[in-house]
Structure 1
Protein backbone atom coordinates (compact mmCIF):
# COMPACT_ATOMS: atom_id res chain seq x y z
CA UNK A 1 0.00 0.00 0.00
CA UNK A 2 1.43 3.36 -1.05
CA UNK A 3 0.27 6.34 1.00
CA UNK A 4 -0.17 9.64 -0.84
CA UNK A 5 0.58 12.69 1.30
CA UNK A 6 -2.12 15.37 0.95
CA UNK A 7 -0.73 17.70 3.64
CA UNK A 8 1.38 20.84 3.50
CA UNK A 9 4.49 21.11 5.68
CA UNK A 10 4.06 23.51 8.60
CA UNK A 11 6.87 26.07 8.57
CA UNK A 12 7.57 28.79 11.14
CA UNK A 13 6.22 32.15 10.03
CA UNK A 14 4.39 30.87 6.95
CA UNK A 15 1.27 32.78 5.79
CA UNK A 16 -1.96 32.05 7.64
CA UNK A 17 -5.61 33.06 7.42
CA UNK A 18 -6.00 36.79 6.63
CA UNK A 19 -6.19 38.77 9.87
CA UNK A 20 -5.23 35.77 12.00
CA UNK A 21 -2.52 37.15 14.25
CA UNK A 22 -1.88 33.93 16.15
CA UNK A 23 1.84 33.15 16.32
CA UNK A 24 3.24 30.27 14.31
CA UNK A 25 6.59 29.13 15.60
CA UNK A 26 8.52 25.88 15.83
CA UNK A 27 11.04 26.48 18.60
CA UNK A 28 14.19 24.39 18.90
CA UNK A 29 14.49 24.03 22.67
CA UNK A 30 17.49 21.70 22.73
CA UNK A 31 20.10 20.96 20.06
CA UNK A 32 22.51 18.10 19.42
CA UNK A 33 25.61 20.32 19.60
CA UNK A 34 24.64 21.65 23.03
CA UNK A 35 22.43 19.28 25.03
CA UNK A 36 23.26 16.21 22.96
CA UNK A 37 19.71 15.70 21.73
CA UNK A 38 16.99 17.58 19.87
CA UNK A 39 13.76 18.80 21.48
CA UNK A 40 11.22 21.24 20.06
CA UNK A 41 8.12 23.14 21.09
CA UNK A 42 5.21 24.34 18.97
CA UNK A 43 3.07 27.46 19.01
CA UNK A 44 0.28 27.80 16.46
CA UNK A 45 -3.45 28.26 15.94
CA UNK A 46 -5.71 25.28 15.34
CA UNK A 47 -6.40 26.24 11.71
CA UNK A 48 -2.78 26.24 10.58
CA UNK A 49 -1.77 24.41 7.41
CA UNK A 50 -3.78 21.38 6.30
CA UNK A 51 -6.45 21.12 8.97
CA UNK A 52 -9.90 19.87 9.83
CA UNK A 53 -12.81 21.99 11.07
CA UNK A 54 -15.19 20.22 13.42
CA UNK A 55 -18.92 20.98 13.33
CA UNK A 56 -18.64 23.18 16.45
CA UNK A 57 -16.55 25.69 14.49
CA UNK A 58 -19.67 27.53 13.35
CA UNK A 59 -22.43 25.89 15.38
CA UNK A 60 -22.65 25.95 19.17
CA UNK A 61 -23.53 22.60 20.72
CA UNK A 62 -21.99 20.58 17.89
CA UNK A 63 -18.99 18.27 18.33
CA UNK A 64 -15.40 19.36 18.87
CA UNK A 65 -12.64 17.40 17.15
CA UNK A 66 -11.60 15.45 20.25
CA UNK A 67 -15.00 13.81 20.79
CA UNK A 68 -15.63 12.75 17.21
CA UNK A 69 -14.88 9.09 16.54
CA UNK A 70 -11.84 8.18 14.48
CA UNK A 71 -14.27 6.87 11.87
CA UNK A 72 -15.41 10.44 11.28
CA UNK A 73 -12.02 11.20 9.71
CA UNK A 74 -11.61 8.01 7.68
CA UNK A 75 -13.40 6.58 4.66
CA UNK A 76 -13.85 6.45 0.92
CA UNK A 77 -13.49 9.73 -0.95
CA UNK A 78 -14.53 10.82 -4.41
CA UNK A 79 -12.03 13.30 -5.83
CA UNK A 80 -13.82 15.70 -8.17
CA UNK A 81 -12.07 17.64 -10.93
CA UNK A 82 -12.82 21.31 -10.16
CA UNK A 83 -9.74 22.78 -11.85
CA UNK A 84 -11.81 25.01 -14.12
CA UNK A 85 -12.94 26.98 -11.06
CA UNK A 86 -9.37 27.56 -9.91
CA UNK A 87 -7.67 28.11 -13.26
CA UNK A 88 -7.71 31.93 -13.07
CA UNK A 89 -6.09 33.11 -9.84
CA UNK A 90 -7.47 36.61 -10.37
CA UNK A 91 -11.08 35.57 -10.91
CA UNK A 92 -11.88 32.12 -9.50
CA UNK A 93 -15.49 31.05 -9.58
CA UNK A 94 -17.85 29.45 -7.12
CA UNK A 95 -17.89 25.67 -6.95
CA UNK A 96 -21.36 24.78 -8.16
CA UNK A 97 -23.49 21.68 -7.66
CA UNK A 98 -23.14 20.87 -11.37
CA UNK A 99 -19.72 19.46 -10.45
CA UNK A 100 -21.57 16.49 -8.99
CA UNK A 101 -23.95 15.95 -11.90
CA UNK A 102 -24.05 12.25 -12.68
CA UNK A 103 -21.93 11.38 -9.63
CA UNK A 104 -23.03 8.55 -7.36
CA UNK A 105 -22.26 9.47 -3.75
CA UNK A 106 -24.01 6.60 -2.00
CA UNK A 107 -20.82 4.56 -1.51
CA UNK A 108 -18.45 7.39 -0.53
CA UNK A 109 -17.90 9.18 2.76
CA UNK A 110 -16.11 12.31 1.53
CA UNK A 111 -16.04 14.54 -1.50
CA UNK A 112 -12.66 16.15 -2.19
CA UNK A 113 -12.67 19.06 -4.63
CA UNK A 114 -9.48 19.34 -6.69
CA UNK A 115 -9.23 22.98 -7.83
CA UNK A 116 -5.45 23.12 -8.24
CA UNK A 117 -5.32 26.13 -5.91
CA UNK A 118 -2.54 24.46 -3.90
CA UNK A 119 -0.14 25.51 -6.66
CA UNK A 120 -0.23 28.97 -5.03
CA UNK A 121 0.68 27.71 -1.54
CA UNK A 122 2.94 30.20 0.31
CA UNK A 123 2.51 32.71 -2.51
CA UNK A 124 0.73 36.06 -2.03
CA UNK A 125 -2.23 35.01 -4.16
CA UNK A 126 -3.12 31.92 -2.13
CA UNK A 127 -5.25 33.81 0.39
CA UNK A 128 -7.06 35.94 -2.21
CA UNK A 129 -10.27 35.05 -4.05
CA UNK A 130 -10.00 31.26 -3.87
CA UNK A 131 -12.75 28.97 -5.22
CA UNK A 132 -15.37 28.29 -2.55
CA UNK A 133 -18.58 26.31 -2.21
CA UNK A 134 -21.81 27.77 -3.47
CA UNK A 135 -24.73 27.41 -1.07
CA UNK A 136 -26.42 25.03 -3.51
CA UNK A 137 -23.38 22.74 -3.57
CA UNK A 138 -23.06 22.90 0.23
CA UNK A 139 -26.74 21.92 0.62
CA UNK A 140 -26.33 19.05 -1.85
CA UNK A 141 -23.29 17.71 0.00
CA UNK A 142 -25.04 18.06 3.36
CA UNK A 143 -28.06 16.15 2.08
CA UNK A 144 -25.91 13.28 0.79
CA UNK A 145 -25.06 11.80 4.19
CA UNK A 146 -21.34 12.44 3.83
CA UNK A 147 -18.85 12.57 6.69
CA UNK A 148 -17.18 15.61 5.20
CA UNK A 149 -15.91 17.69 2.32
CA UNK A 150 -12.32 18.66 1.61
CA UNK A 151 -10.59 20.96 -0.81
CA UNK A 152 -7.18 22.38 -1.72
CA UNK A 153 -8.08 25.98 -0.85
CA UNK A 154 -8.01 27.94 2.43
CA UNK A 155 -11.72 27.49 3.17
CA UNK A 156 -15.04 26.13 2.01
CA UNK A 157 -16.28 29.74 2.23
CA UNK A 158 -15.11 33.08 0.86
CA UNK A 159 -12.99 35.08 3.29
CA UNK A 160 -15.98 37.06 4.61
CA UNK A 161 -18.53 34.24 4.56
CA UNK A 162 -19.65 31.35 6.72
CA UNK A 163 -22.65 29.91 4.88
CA UNK A 164 -20.99 26.70 3.68
CA UNK A 165 -19.44 26.09 7.10
CA UNK A 166 -22.82 26.47 8.76
CA UNK A 167 -24.59 24.21 6.27
CA UNK A 168 -21.98 21.49 6.77
CA UNK A 169 -22.05 21.90 10.55
CA UNK A 170 -25.83 21.45 10.64
CA UNK A 171 -25.28 18.07 8.95
CA UNK A 172 -22.50 17.17 11.44
CA UNK A 173 -19.94 17.19 8.63
CA UNK A 174 -16.26 18.02 8.94
CA UNK A 175 -14.35 20.26 6.54
CA UNK A 176 -10.77 19.50 5.54
CA UNK A 177 -9.04 22.61 4.21
CA UNK A 178 -5.64 23.43 2.67
CA UNK A 179 -5.20 19.97 1.18
CA UNK A 180 -2.59 19.47 -1.53
CA UNK A 181 -2.00 17.05 -4.38
CA UNK A 182 -5.63 16.37 -5.25
CA UNK A 183 -5.42 17.12 -8.98
CA UNK A 184 -3.54 13.91 -9.89
CA UNK A 185 -6.30 11.97 -8.12
CA UNK A 186 -9.17 13.71 -9.91
CA UNK A 187 -12.06 11.47 -10.97
CA UNK A 188 -10.88 8.64 -8.74
CA UNK A 189 -12.35 7.09 -5.61
CA UNK A 190 -9.63 6.76 -2.99
CA UNK A 191 -9.26 5.72 0.61
CA UNK A 192 -8.84 8.84 2.73
CA UNK A 193 -7.82 9.68 6.27
CA UNK A 194 -7.18 13.00 8.04
CA UNK A 195 -6.65 12.43 11.76
CA UNK A 196 -6.60 15.49 14.05
CA UNK A 197 -4.67 15.99 17.24
CA UNK A 198 -6.83 15.14 20.24
CA UNK A 199 -7.13 18.70 21.53
CA UNK A 200 -9.75 19.05 24.24
CA UNK A 201 -12.76 21.13 23.25
CA UNK A 202 -11.23 22.64 20.12
CA UNK A 203 -13.07 23.42 16.91
CA UNK A 204 -10.18 22.48 14.63
CA UNK A 205 -6.79 20.81 14.41
CA UNK A 206 -3.92 20.39 11.99
CA UNK A 207 -4.01 16.97 10.31
CA UNK A 208 -1.74 14.68 8.32
CA UNK A 209 -4.10 13.86 5.48
CA UNK A 210 -3.34 10.83 3.32
CA UNK A 211 -4.94 8.87 0.52
CA UNK A 212 -4.31 5.44 -0.92
CA UNK A 213 -5.66 3.52 -3.85
CA UNK A 214 -7.07 0.02 -3.79
CA UNK A 215 -4.68 -2.60 -5.12
Structure 2
Protein backbone atom coordinates (compact mmCIF):
# COMPACT_ATOMS: atom_id res chain seq x y z
CA UNK A 1 0.00 0.00 0.00
CA UNK A 2 1.17 3.52 -0.77
CA UNK A 3 -0.03 6.98 0.15
CA UNK A 4 0.63 10.29 -1.59
CA UNK A 5 1.49 13.48 0.26
CA UNK A 6 1.23 16.79 -1.60
CA UNK A 7 4.13 19.00 -0.50
CA UNK A 8 3.17 21.94 -2.72
CA UNK A 9 1.95 25.38 -1.69
CA UNK A 10 -1.33 26.44 -3.38
CA UNK A 11 -0.80 29.19 -5.95
CA UNK A 12 -3.01 32.29 -5.75
CA UNK A 13 -2.61 36.08 -5.89
CA UNK A 14 -2.86 36.15 -2.09
CA UNK A 15 -0.02 33.72 -1.42
CA UNK A 16 3.06 34.90 0.54
CA UNK A 17 5.62 36.42 -1.84
CA UNK A 18 9.07 37.73 -1.01
CA UNK A 19 8.67 41.22 -2.44
CA UNK A 20 10.34 43.24 -3.96
CA UNK A 21 12.68 40.48 -5.16
CA UNK A 22 9.73 38.39 -6.31
CA UNK A 23 6.14 39.18 -7.22
CA UNK A 24 2.77 37.48 -6.67
CA UNK A 25 1.13 35.59 -9.53
CA UNK A 26 -1.45 37.26 -11.76
CA UNK A 27 -4.31 35.07 -13.03
CA UNK A 28 -6.32 36.85 -15.70
CA UNK A 29 -9.26 35.00 -17.33
CA UNK A 30 -9.50 35.79 -21.05
CA UNK A 31 -12.24 33.38 -22.07
CA UNK A 32 -15.41 32.36 -20.24
CA UNK A 33 -17.74 29.40 -20.60
CA UNK A 34 -20.83 31.61 -20.42
CA UNK A 35 -19.74 33.83 -23.33
CA UNK A 36 -17.21 31.78 -25.28
CA UNK A 37 -18.06 28.17 -24.52
CA UNK A 38 -14.69 27.48 -22.90
CA UNK A 39 -12.49 28.90 -20.15
CA UNK A 40 -8.92 30.15 -20.45
CA UNK A 41 -6.61 32.07 -18.13
CA UNK A 42 -3.44 34.07 -18.79
CA UNK A 43 -0.92 33.36 -16.05
CA UNK A 44 1.98 35.64 -15.14
CA UNK A 45 4.17 33.96 -12.55
CA UNK A 46 7.61 34.43 -11.02
CA UNK A 47 10.00 31.55 -11.69
CA UNK A 48 10.58 31.41 -7.92
CA UNK A 49 6.95 31.62 -6.83
CA UNK A 50 5.53 29.34 -4.16
CA UNK A 51 6.89 25.81 -4.08
CA UNK A 52 9.62 25.99 -6.69
CA UNK A 53 12.88 24.60 -8.00
CA UNK A 54 16.10 26.61 -8.21
CA UNK A 55 18.30 25.53 -11.12
CA UNK A 56 22.07 26.11 -10.95
CA UNK A 57 21.69 29.00 -13.45
CA UNK A 58 19.76 30.91 -10.77
CA UNK A 59 23.09 31.96 -9.24
CA UNK A 60 25.86 30.50 -11.42
CA UNK A 61 26.44 31.94 -14.88
CA UNK A 62 26.65 29.34 -17.63
CA UNK A 63 25.18 26.53 -15.54
CA UNK A 64 22.14 24.45 -16.51
CA UNK A 65 18.58 25.74 -16.49
CA UNK A 66 15.57 24.01 -15.02
CA UNK A 67 14.83 22.19 -18.30
CA UNK A 68 18.22 20.44 -18.15
CA UNK A 69 17.96 19.04 -14.62
CA UNK A 70 18.16 15.23 -14.94
CA UNK A 71 14.94 13.44 -14.06
CA UNK A 72 16.88 11.02 -11.86
CA UNK A 73 17.79 13.95 -9.59
CA UNK A 74 14.18 15.12 -9.26
CA UNK A 75 12.67 11.68 -8.62
CA UNK A 76 13.74 8.97 -6.20
CA UNK A 77 14.41 7.93 -2.63
CA UNK A 78 14.53 10.81 -0.16
CA UNK A 79 15.17 11.43 3.51
CA UNK A 80 13.35 13.80 5.84
CA UNK A 81 15.47 15.45 8.50
CA UNK A 82 13.49 17.21 11.24
CA UNK A 83 15.17 20.28 12.74
CA UNK A 84 13.92 22.35 15.67
CA UNK A 85 16.07 25.44 15.16
CA UNK A 86 15.98 28.75 13.32
CA UNK A 87 19.43 28.17 11.79
CA UNK A 88 20.20 24.67 10.48
CA UNK A 89 23.80 23.58 11.12
CA UNK A 90 25.69 20.36 10.31
CA UNK A 91 24.99 19.14 13.84
CA UNK A 92 21.24 19.31 13.17
CA UNK A 93 21.55 17.32 9.96
CA UNK A 94 23.31 14.35 11.52
CA UNK A 95 23.67 11.28 9.34
CA UNK A 96 22.66 11.97 5.75
CA UNK A 97 21.73 8.75 4.00
CA UNK A 98 20.10 9.87 0.75
CA UNK A 99 20.90 11.89 -2.37
CA UNK A 100 17.68 13.84 -1.73
CA UNK A 101 17.06 15.57 1.59
CA UNK A 102 13.97 17.41 2.79
CA UNK A 103 14.61 19.62 5.83
CA UNK A 104 11.47 19.82 7.96
CA UNK A 105 11.36 22.76 10.38
CA UNK A 106 7.62 23.38 10.70
CA UNK A 107 8.06 26.88 9.27
CA UNK A 108 5.39 26.32 6.59
CA UNK A 109 2.79 26.48 9.38
CA UNK A 110 3.43 30.24 9.51
CA UNK A 111 2.55 31.19 5.92
CA UNK A 112 -0.22 33.49 7.15
CA UNK A 113 2.20 35.60 9.24
CA UNK A 114 4.62 38.37 8.28
CA UNK A 115 7.36 36.42 10.04
CA UNK A 116 7.13 33.67 7.41
CA UNK A 117 9.12 35.80 4.96
CA UNK A 118 11.10 38.09 7.26
CA UNK A 119 12.56 35.65 9.78
CA UNK A 120 12.43 32.22 8.21
CA UNK A 121 14.43 29.14 9.08
CA UNK A 122 17.42 28.50 6.85
CA UNK A 123 20.68 26.62 6.46
CA UNK A 124 24.06 28.10 7.23
CA UNK A 125 27.06 27.76 4.93
CA UNK A 126 28.55 24.91 6.97
CA UNK A 127 25.32 22.93 6.63
CA UNK A 128 25.40 23.46 2.86
CA UNK A 129 29.00 22.24 2.69
CA UNK A 130 28.06 19.25 4.84
CA UNK A 131 25.31 18.25 2.41
CA UNK A 132 27.63 18.67 -0.57
CA UNK A 133 30.23 16.53 1.15
CA UNK A 134 27.67 13.79 1.75
CA UNK A 135 26.87 13.59 -1.95
CA UNK A 136 23.41 15.16 -1.75
CA UNK A 137 22.01 16.14 -5.17
CA UNK A 138 18.73 17.82 -4.10
CA UNK A 139 17.80 19.79 -0.98
CA UNK A 140 14.27 20.86 -0.08
CA UNK A 141 13.11 23.03 2.81
CA UNK A 142 9.72 24.10 4.21
CA UNK A 143 10.60 27.81 4.28
CA UNK A 144 10.95 30.56 1.65
CA UNK A 145 14.69 30.10 1.20
CA UNK A 146 17.64 27.93 2.12
CA UNK A 147 19.42 31.22 2.89
CA UNK A 148 18.87 33.82 5.58
CA UNK A 149 17.06 36.95 4.32
CA UNK A 150 19.51 39.14 2.44
CA UNK A 151 22.15 36.41 2.06
CA UNK A 152 23.00 34.04 -0.77
CA UNK A 153 25.93 31.98 0.60
CA UNK A 154 23.95 28.75 0.76
CA UNK A 155 22.57 29.20 -2.75
CA UNK A 156 26.08 29.84 -4.04
CA UNK A 157 27.47 26.72 -2.38
CA UNK A 158 24.67 24.31 -3.29
CA UNK A 159 24.01 25.52 -6.83
CA UNK A 160 27.74 25.97 -7.43
CA UNK A 161 28.12 22.24 -6.78
CA UNK A 162 25.13 21.34 -8.95
CA UNK A 163 22.81 20.64 -6.00
CA UNK A 164 19.19 21.39 -6.90
CA UNK A 165 17.18 23.44 -4.40
CA UNK A 166 13.43 23.15 -3.69
CA UNK A 167 11.93 25.90 -1.51
CA UNK A 168 8.55 26.71 0.03
CA UNK A 169 7.61 23.08 0.64
CA UNK A 170 4.52 22.47 2.75
CA UNK A 171 3.02 19.60 4.74
CA UNK A 172 6.43 18.12 5.52
CA UNK A 173 5.20 17.16 9.00
CA UNK A 174 3.24 14.37 7.32
CA UNK A 175 6.39 12.72 6.01
CA UNK A 176 8.14 9.69 7.49
CA UNK A 177 11.93 9.63 7.68
CA UNK A 178 12.22 7.88 4.32
CA UNK A 179 9.99 8.12 1.24
CA UNK A 180 10.09 8.54 -2.53
CA UNK A 181 10.05 12.08 -3.86
CA UNK A 182 8.65 13.43 -7.14
CA UNK A 183 9.58 17.01 -8.02
CA UNK A 184 7.92 18.30 -11.22
CA UNK A 185 9.03 21.77 -12.34
CA UNK A 186 7.79 23.12 -15.65
CA UNK A 187 10.22 22.32 -18.45
CA UNK A 188 10.89 25.95 -19.40
CA UNK A 189 13.87 26.21 -21.73
CA UNK A 190 16.75 28.09 -20.14
CA UNK A 191 14.78 29.08 -17.04
CA UNK A 192 16.62 29.74 -13.75
CA UNK A 193 13.76 28.13 -11.82
CA UNK A 194 10.14 27.07 -11.97
CA UNK A 195 7.12 26.57 -9.76
CA UNK A 196 6.73 22.86 -9.10
CA UNK A 197 4.26 20.26 -7.94
CA UNK A 198 6.07 18.17 -5.35
CA UNK A 199 4.68 14.84 -4.20
CA UNK A 200 5.92 12.28 -1.70
CA UNK A 201 5.13 8.60 -2.19
CA UNK A 202 4.95 6.96 1.21
CA UNK A 203 4.82 3.26 1.93
CA UNK A 204 2.00 2.41 4.35
CA UNK A 205 2.29 -0.58 6.67
CA UNK A 206 0.10 -3.55 5.83
CA UNK A 207 -3.08 -3.75 7.93
TM-score by length of 2: 0.92
In the other structure, the counterpart of 1:5 is 6
1:99 aligns with 2:92: yes
In 2: Cα distance, 1:112 partner to 1:132 partner: 12
Q: Number of residue pairs matched?
A: 203
Q: Please list, as runs of the form range in 1=range in 2, the aligned pairs for 1:137-152 lying within 5 A after superposition.
A: 137-152=127-142
Q: 1:62-102 CA deviation, whole Å, 9 max, x = no partner?
A: 111111221121111110111x21xxxxxxx210111222x
Q: 1:96-155 CA deviation, whole Å, 9 max, x = no partner?
A: 111222x242xx221111111111114322101111101111000011111111000000
In the other structure, the counterpart of 2:154 is 164
Q: Please list, as runs of the form range in 1=range in 2, the aligned pairs for 1:35-114 lying within 5 A after superposition.
A: 35-82=36-83, 84-85=84-85, 93-101=86-94, 103-105=95-97, 108-114=98-104
In 2: Cα distance, 1:39 partner to 1:2 partner: 32
In the other structure, the counterpart of 2:201 is 212
Which range is displaced more, 148-157 or 19-28? 19-28
Secondary structure, in 3 states, of the residue corresponding to 2:182?
strand
In 2: Cα distance, 1:196 partner to 1:49 partner: 12
Secondary structure, in 3 states, of the residue corresponding to 1:159?
coil
Q: CA RMSD in A?
A: 1.5
1:20 aligns with 2:10: no
More strand by share: 2
Task: Note the residue ranges of structure 1 that are not aligned, 5 or more in a row.
Answer: 86-92
Match of 1:177 among 146, 164, 167: 167
C-alpha displacement at 1:23, in angstroms?
Answer: 5.3
TM-score by length of 1: 0.89
